[in-house]
């Protein structure tokens, strides 16, 4: 029996195929423009088109292979109805294998469709803040930082601390990290939300389990973000750096502080030795945050039924619980069609081995995005 018989191939009128045809047409237009001498004279347009074309290249290739495979399926179906008995029998033998190939290709296409959208973001900010729980929350914030650092290092992603606010006992009140790398955003976009920890704190003498929290926001840094910010709405000035860095720390104003008065958003950048670079990064983070807020408003109207709120950075949403006594990491967005949750090995997750967790989130997000088509 054909294992793919229960999953019929989408017809030409399906939203998925219409979307793929639209993207294939766009890719072909971009390829044509990159060969146009008049277009090549505009470096900015050429770079943008080349980047977009590259993000669609693999999707276009797989979809074209699928279309070729579909033609062969149609030919075999016609031959199976032939009056030539030998030809008909041969076609019937080959048809299940070719249909299975087409079904595998359409699943690969679904993955590529999502990847093409996510891979447009090659740089983003991870913003971690200690929530309720005092020093234990700050220690948990530090543990989350280490979890993400280990994961990014294992994947070869660039992981740079943009700003850090220490707490007592080695915890972090707040830390902002800039993450870069192919596929980095695709893997970590689901981390936005409330993270809860259940464990016996270092300061607890009675051995009682406490519950603390931290929040994570995921903010894409898009090169083409166009946010109009009135200079009168911004307060900014140089500030001294903090943390390790030699004799100049806390003596030379290499950092930059920026505050957007209408929203109350404020950022301090001390990552670079150059104040100019810190100023640029502070403005980039402000634009990214305002852009994410505007996107959230637009998405709320379109995706109100999307309960998972993946990647939204909504801090009122508890997305995950880290239960140390039971060595259990529970993601509350997973658990199948009926809702619920799914558990993962906590020790592995805290050591940066997040692949199983992230793959499960990606599959759920893929299903929801394709349904939204």
Residue 49 belongs to a domain: yes
Residue 245's pLDDT band, with cuts at 50, 70 and 90, is: very low
Residue 288 belongs to a domain: no
Residue 221 belongs to a domain: no
**Reported pTM:** 0.68
pLDDT tens digits for range 57-77: 889 999 999 999 999 999 999
What value does the mean pLDDT take over residues 189-216? 88
Residue 301 pLDDT > 70: no
Which of 123-127, 272-276, 309-313 shows the lowest mean pLDDT across its residues? Answer: 309-313
Residue 372 pLDDT > 80: no
Determine the structural domain holding residue 35 and report its residue range: 15-118
Give the model's pLDDT for residue 105. 94
Report d(CA 230, CA 238) in Å as an integer.
Answer: 19
What value does the mean pLDDT take over residues 36-44? 77
Total tally of structural domains belonging to the chain: 1
For 283, other C-beta atoms within 10 Å of its C-beta total 17
Q: Which residues contact residue 48 at a Cβ distance below 8 angstroms, ignoring those fewer than 6 apart? A: 224
Residue environment code for 92-110, b if the CB has 16+ CB neighbours within 10 A, otherwise e: eebbeebbebbbebbebbb
User: pLDDT averaged over the chain?
Assistant: 83
Residue 109 belongs to a domain: yes
pLDDT tens digits for range 80-133: 998 888 899 898 999 999 999 999 999 999 888 887 777 778 889 999 999 988
Residue 108 belongs to a domain: yes
Residue 193 belongs to a domain: no
Report CA-CA distances (Å) from 365 to 7, 165, 216, 281, 314: 20, 33, 18, 30, 16
């Amino acid at each position: 029996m054909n294992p793919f018989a229960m999953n019929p191939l989408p017809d030409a009128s399906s939203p998925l195929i219409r979307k793929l045809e639209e993207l294939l047409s766009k890719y072909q237009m971009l390829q044509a423009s990159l060969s146009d001498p008049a277009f090549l004279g505009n470096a900015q347009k050429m770079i943008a088109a080349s980047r977009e074309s590259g993000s669609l290249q693999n999707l276009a290739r797989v979809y074209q292979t699928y279309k070729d495979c579909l033609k062969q399926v149609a030919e075999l179906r016609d031959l199976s109805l032939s009056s030539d008995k030998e030809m008909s029998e041969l076609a019937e033998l080959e048809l299940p294998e070719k249909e299975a190939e087409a079904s595998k290709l359409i699943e690969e296409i679904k993955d590529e469709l999502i990847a093409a959208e996510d891979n447009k973001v090659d740089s983003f900010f991870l913003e971690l803040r200690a929530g309720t729980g005092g020093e234990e929350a700050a220690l948990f914030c530090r543990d989350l930082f280490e979890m993400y650092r280990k994961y990014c290092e294992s994947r070869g992603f660039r992981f740079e601390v943009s700003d850090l606010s220490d707490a007592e006992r080695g915890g972090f009140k707040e830390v902002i990290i800039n993450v870069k790398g192919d596929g980095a955003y695709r893997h970590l976009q689901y981390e936005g939300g409330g993270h809860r920890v259940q464990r016996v704190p270092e300061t607890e003498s009675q051995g009682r389990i406490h519950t603390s929290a931290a929040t994570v926001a995921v903010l894409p840094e898009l090169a083409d973000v166009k946010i109009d910010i009135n200079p009168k709405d911004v307060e900014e000035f140089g500030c001294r750096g903090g943390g390790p860095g030699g004799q100049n720390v806390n003596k030379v104003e290499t950092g930059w502080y920026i505050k957007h008065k209408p929203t109350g958003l404020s950022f301090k950048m001390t990552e670079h030795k150059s104040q100019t670079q810190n100023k640029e990064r502070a403005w980039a983070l402000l634009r990214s945050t305002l852009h994410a807020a505007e996107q959230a408003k637009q998405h709320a109207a379109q995706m109100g039924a999307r309960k998972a709120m993946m990647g939204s950075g909504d801090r009122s949403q508890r997305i995950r619980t880290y239960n140390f006594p039971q060595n259990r990491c529970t993601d509350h967005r997973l658990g199948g069609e009926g809702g619920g949750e799914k558990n993962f090995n906590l020790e592995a997750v805290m050591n940066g081995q997040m692949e199983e967790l992230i793959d499960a989130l990606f599959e759920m997000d893929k299903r929801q995005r394709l349904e939204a088509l």
